[in-house]
Structure 1
């Protein structure tokens, strides 16, 4: 089971803060699954987001381990 946490604009576009998924093999496959599941508005937000898998940013081809936590983080601004 993979835990996906949505933050800020990603949470707004997804309509939730968190989800549990049975499986996703790679970061790229997870992105595609999330875009399909949440629709075009979310897909547009997702294009600007970073995905952190267990606290590390991985490429689209990287495998996602079972029981991972994936954070969907849109760009943040602050000072």
Structure 2
């Protein structure tokens, strides 16, 4: 089991992002989710299976804003 630098922080950011989504405050939620994604990517690596779900959640934010972004690269 590896050391995770900010486990409570990433989970909190993800939860807050979910709340912002439900409030239709998409830009704020997207910012929070991107912060969580950066922590997960740093700690788990870009190819970790958990990243797929996180990126799918990011796609929901972009879809809600009618924003189709460029593919994310590591």
Length-normalised TM-score, structure 1: 0.28
Bigger radius of gyration among the two: 2
Q: Give the number of the structure whose residues are more often helix, by fraction.
A: 2
More strand per residue:
1
TM-score (normalizing by structure 2): 0.29
The structure showing larger relative contact order (alpha-carbon pairs under 8 Å, at least 6 residues apart) is 1
